[in-house]
Amino acid sequence: MFIKRLRRISFLNAVALFSVAVVVAVVSIYFVFDLYLSSVSRELVTSWIQSEAVAIQEGNLLTSITKNQRVLLSSQFVKGVVLLDQTTTPNQKLIEVGDRIESPRNVSILQGDLVRVSTVGFFAKQVAYKVPDRPDLLLVFSIESQFVQRVFYTTVAALILFMIVLFGSIKAVQAREFLKRERYLKQALDEFITRDQPSEFIEQEFPSIVRWWEDKKRESEAARRLAVESESKMLLGELGARVAHDIRSPLNTINAVASSIKNLPENAKDLLNTAIQRIRDIANGVADINRIVLAERKQATKNSSVENLSEPTLLFPILESVIEEKLVQFHNRHNIDLKVSPDAYSTFAMINELEMRRTLSNLIDNAVEASEDTAKITLALELMESHAVIKILDQGKGIPSELLSRIGEMGFTYGKKNGSGLGVHYAKASVQSWKGKFEIDSKVDGGAEVRISLPRTPAPKWIATEVTLSKGTTLLVLDDDPTIHAVWQERTREISQDLKIEHFFDPQSIRSWFVQNNGKIGKYLLLSDYELRARDTNGLDVIERLGISHKDVVLVTSAYEDLSVRSKCKELNIKILPKPSLAFTPVHVI
């Protein structure tokens, strides 16, 4: 009933309704996120003040801030801290760490109490604290979170995308109903022409059909145009169904991570960023998929397919990120495993990464729905001669042998209550467009095994397949993640106890090291991350400013899929080592 009422709304009214809904939803979401940031700001400052209570009572606040500035600024929320002397005009800054902070005006605070959390910008707060027994001192914290901003943008984008898909689907249904009515009227007209007079049924149900028949020549051209338009709307409806199907998994992941946003664990942030990127990729891929559907309908050349969007892609990180996403999505299951043979970690295949992620996500969703909560589900990657083989194995209820041949037909589904019959169909079509083979083996109550066999392809030239060091080389590691430093420390210890290694966590520290050791550095190899905590500086900027030769640097980053990063590395002739392959990439000393 609700859908029928929506279909009666005019186009302009529908656009107005859509706009109002978006504005109300965005404003509501903003207030929720702003309230959350205010709460986090108050909790962070209260926690730090409690931990430094002794130093504050003893009057050692300046020393405490100086010694703990790295800890203060290590939080993704705290961007700066300043201690003000309010006896001077303007207020004198006794100490300031992090970003520059504008001094608050007309702040009235009870001693020992936190003031209100003040809003100073878009998801940016200031929290002020009056030091006990020192009414002349005011401690001000600058709180800002790009993570909260990204989650806000992603939530708004997902909401708008859902509304667009709903609007498009309603229009597609309307077009199909119009086409059905048009065909029915044509059938009635043929009957009228054959009998040379209207039948009793036509006279009762379609009194205007006689007038339509008299004007058939004039109306025939308009009918053909309507048919073409209806066909285009049907294609748009099919595209909307694909988007709605593919967007389900990343949205479920966002919902799962959002439930744990209070604690903000590191792995949850990484997985949320992955889901954000997937939603963005799906939105960007709509135009490409629509072009492919139209090409298939017009029977264009065989090369007009997803294959044209393919490129050499490292398989292991895709499988790993999909498994991590599913462990969050199905948080009540701990039996979704990834198995990779030792020789398959550095395997490349000519595929479209977005399509592969969709394919694996949909297939694992199918396996979960077909299995009990305690049943094991395995995603495996292994090599067989010149092919890479990806397997999805479950212990579910299986598929009868007489239906196996139909699995993959568009619209055919088995064992799923609300199945659309699209996931496996698109998965099979994508694999075949990559010159691969898609197979399913199953029996009733015996589980199922889905096999995707893809031709292997050499690693692209911009990938660092190994790290080679000469004797006497100093290894420089620039990364803001301590775990990456620990990995390199362990990797180098395995190959040489005498290898010298220097660790840097920010651009400023490595610049200072180069200045202090000017002329005394000797041979070195810089292993630099791309995404650093510095706002306006990345790893490639640091490399350019230091004038480091491409032979003396390797970019070690999770942003290896970013086309802008690849383009810049090609320009500088710098190799990229993907972080997911860090633990498996050979390191040699010659």
In tens, the pLDDT along 496-525 reads: 767 889 999 999 999 999 988 877 778 889
**DSSP at 89:** S
pLDDT the model gives residue 525: 92
Q: How large a percentage of the chain has pLDDT more than 70?
A: 67
| pLDDT class of 576 with cuts at 50, 70, 90 | very high
The 10s digit of each residue's pLDDT in 396-447 is 888 887 777 677 676 566 666 655 566 788 888 889 999 999 998 888 888 8
Is the pLDDT score of 327 beyond 90?
no
Q: pLDDT tens across 16-29, in order?
A: 777 888 888 888 88
pLDDT at 292 over 60: no
The phi and psi torsions of 404 (rounded to 5 degrees) equal -60, -40
Burial class (CB in 10 A: 0-12, 13-18, 19+), 293: middle
The DSSP annotation for 123-187 comes to: TEEEEEEEPTT-TTEEEEEEEE-HHHHHHHHHHHHHHHHHHHHHHHHHHHHHHHHHHHHHHHHHH
Q: For residue range 489-501, what is the model confidence (pLDDT) as tens digits?
A: 888 887 776 788 9
pLDDT of residue 162: 84
Give burial (CB, 10 Å; 0-12/13-18/19+) of 215.
exposed
Q: Are 125 and 37 in contact (CB under 8 A)?
A: yes
Lowest mean pLDDT among 465-469, 491-495, 508-512, 562-566: 491-495
Lowest-confidence segment of 68-82, 155-169, 564-578 by average pLDDT: 68-82
User: Which DSSP string do the residues of 33-80 spell out, in sequence order?
Assistant: HHHHHHHHHHHHHHHHHHHTHHHHHTT-HHHHHHHTHHHHHHSSSEEE
Query: Which range among 25-39, 121-135, 255-269, 575-589 shows the weakest confidence by mean pLDDT?
Result: 255-269
pLDDT band at 294 (very low <50, low <70, confident <90, very high): very low
35 or 86, which is more confident? 35
Q: Which residue has the higher pLDDT, 528 or 406?
A: 528
Q: Give the three-state DSSP class for 468.
A: strand
Which pTM value belongs to this model? Answer: 0.49
pLDDT-derived band at 563, boundaries 50, 70, 90: confident
Per-residue pLDDT at 408: 64
Closest CA to 314 of 579, 554, 586, 588: 579
What confidence tier does 329 reach under pLDDT thresholds 50, 70, 90? confident
pLDDT band at 229 (very low <50, low <70, confident <90, very high): low
Name the most confidently modeled range: 59-73, 108-122, 238-252.
59-73
Question: Residue 49: what pLDDT?
Answer: 75
